[in-house]
A and B are shown apart, each in its own frame.
Chain A
Amino acid sequence: MPKLLTGNEAVARGAYEAGVHFASAYPGTPSTEILENLAQYEEVDAQWSPNEKVALETALGACIGGARSIVSMKHVGLNVAADPLFTASYTGVNGGLVIVSADDPGMYSSQDEQDNRYYARFAKIPMLEPSDSQEAKDFTIFAFDLSEEYDTPVLLRLTTRISHGRSPVVLGERTERKVKDYSRNIEKYIVLPAHARRLHVEVENRMSRLRALAEKSPLNKVEMGDRELGIITCGAAYQYVKEACPNASILKLGFSYPVPHELIREFAKQVNRLIVVEELEPLLENEIRALGIKVEGKELFTRFGELSTEIVRKGLGMEDETSFKPEDNIPLRPPVLCPGCPHRGVFYQLNKLKAVVTGDIGCYTLGALPPLSSMDTCHCMGASIGTALGLEKARGKEFARKVVAVIGDSTFLHSGITGLMDVVYNKGTITVVILDNGITAMTGHQHHPGTGYTAKNESTSKVDLEEICRAVGVKRVVTVDCYDLERLGTVLKEEMSAEEPSVVIARRPCILWVRERERAFAVGESCIGCGACIGLGCPAISLLGTAAEINAQMCTGCGLCAQVCPTKAIVRL
């Protein structure tokens, strides 16, 4: 019987069946579960890397060493790994190398909705785009063969709906593969200009051969139906097209780069009206238009967010009535810091200190929202520290007394250390708060070099955050318990006023990661309804009548509310 797998689980299974030896990743929604699942196979050496660049470089080394390797990341992770990606295209592989990019159209859990299909074009590597979990598995297996046969890394491009969509998958057996032989080959693996000039020519030749392969690949399917309308599509969009117009003629591109020009010309000839349905950017559309073929696309379908059956229907003028109108004036339900979240106290104090806070990527980006409202900027992994230093460079030392960078432990190890080095080296005086909850929390609790455990849950050496900060030259390194509000406030004030760089390590494990709970708190009769506790933005506390209330089911017993209550009305049950 087939199994109901997410696309991510299916990719992991496909890699396993293809005999993959090595897997690396840095967690990022919607890609995280690929490595988590690979780590469960005994035969696969799977690891969390500190960041995507290192993950790709390690997979690259493993593939040069003869191992079949897979590396997975979210779309913006590939920006971090772009440097080795472009060169890996030149050098090619030894064992197969598959690079998985999980894009997030609609930005369910991302800072942008960049279309990583550009990377296949930019780095000149072939790209496969599955439309469901079975294809995710099958395409992964094919990707390894393709990589080895054409001496190229292969980009497997997923989107949120593929990664986190479950559909039936027929499982197969693992084909064991020997690690290929290794021998030194400097003309291939050392990109000295003289070598790289020749390698570039080979890349262009390879792309021509790959285009010829894509022309007749079974991954590119023509489903002829009504010849009035012909639709070219790929990825999740294929499913919306099939649902909206089951009778249309469809060219589904699974091997979507290099684009099979002849196949498209042939298809275009057979239909009266040609339309491209693709999520995000008009990449196929532009390329088809450049072939001199009349085609419609983005004038009918949005480039914002993900597509859906109804968007396809509407784009084709097939609008239909729905029975219920969306309700107006429903209060929004934005994501919030959990009850007992150790980040809460830090943001509460930064807000009180009126700090200018440069933020970073993690659950703690939610500190920007009311009522904590204590963040000024957030760009990408690791950006908080560099941005803070830049603010000081623009506005001077006086202003720097207000500037605080906040960054999580996993993000700090990902790409915060270099920023901190920059602060010390270039004589900055800002304050950095490392929110150390001991895990990569937002993506669902993955280990990192600071947790002391590997992706396979084996114990390993553990990075000492205090020592790292001292080693780059920070003299003021203070560690604070996140639940001690008063000390947090005092330390932050002191370190912000210091005219030299300082690091405050605010430490407490993620409340979702620790299983044990303290006894809950409750509001007693001396509550005057002043709302001080509401300022913490804890979802377990409400003030609807004249007194505050604590939801005992949700309360984790962190005690922050008791510390801010002016009448000492909040007590532990």
Chain B
Amino acid sequence: MGISGENVLMVGVGGQGIILAGRIIGNAALKMGLEVKVSEIHGMAQRGGSVVTHVRFGRKVYSPTIEVGKADVILAFEKLEALRWLHYLRPGGTMIINDQEIYPLPVLIGKGEYPSDILENIQSKVSDTLALDALKIAVEAGNPKAANMVLLGALAAKLGFEQELWHEVIEQTVPPKTVETNIRAFDMGFERIKSPGACI
């Protein structure tokens, strides 16, 4: 893990603030003088569907999307989505998982089953798996909607850019009124990963 170049795949459920988080990572990498590409999905898929944002940065980046098996990090905003996109992770890659379950409609109406052992399943395959309850931490930070910032903080701790730089980018990206809460949530996610025994 370093700042030379990374493929970060962000996965989750439409409405979780993934597009904003992707923009912040992209801008942070840009500030580091790196080339950046971010690829988002808008429209119908956003209506509670499975969504994915690709973030790639490095000295030279061509494709806007990450190949299967080439993601250095998967930042999963939801557990089932972590499992759905797992095959995008490279061997030895890092999985950061928000320990939150959002049941998809087939499960809600009894037409499908939400797997009960997702964390164990992924941990058995990916040794560098970090899980945190971003929603709980965001509530502590002052707003459940800042869960995306908690996860961003967790990712930032792994990426190795200066914390200051992230603060600057967050300040420039989120609405002025929400800067304080968002930075607090970001820092709590950051500390969570930095502290020993980070996995819940």
Contact = CB atoms under 8 A, between A and B. Distances in A.
B113 A331 contact: yes
Q: Is the interface of A mostly helix, strand, loop or mixed?
A: loop
B196 to A, nearest CB: 28
B68 A322 contact: yes
B45 interface: yes
Interface in B12-70: 13-15, 23, 26-27, 30-31, 35-50, 61-65, 67-69
A543 B42 contact: no
A25 to B, nearest CB: 15
Contact of B65 (A161, A365, A537): A161
B144 interface: yes
Contacts of B114: 331
B67 A363 contact: no
B14 A335 contact: yes
A4 B36 contact: yes
Interface footprint category on A: 35 or more
B104 interface: yes
Interface in B79-103: 80-81, 83-84, 86-87, 89-91, 103
B112 interface: yes
A370 interface: yes
Contacts of A365: 44
B177 interface: no
Residue among B35, B39, B105, B113 having the largest count of chain A Cβ atoms under 10 Å? B105
B194 interface: no
A108 interface: yes
Contacts of B63: 239-240, 242-243, 308-309
A245 to B, nearest CB: 11
A292 interface: no
A541 B103 CA distance: 10
B56 to A, nearest CB: 10
A323 interface: yes
Given A309-B65, A323-B89, A166 B110 contact: no
11 contacts: A6-B40, A166-B23, A166-B36, A309-B67, A324-B69, A331-B113, A333-B80, A337-B47, A443-B43, A534-B110, A537-B105
Interface of B: 13-15, 23, 26-27, 30-31, 35-50, 61-65, 67-69, 80-81, 83-84, 86-87, 89-91, 103-115, 125, 144
Given A239-B63, A543-B108, 15 more contacts: A4-B27, A6-B40, A30-B43, A108-B44, A240-B62, A322-B69, A330-B84, A331-B112, A333-B50, A334-B104, A335-B46, A442-B44, A534-B108, A542-B103, A544-B103
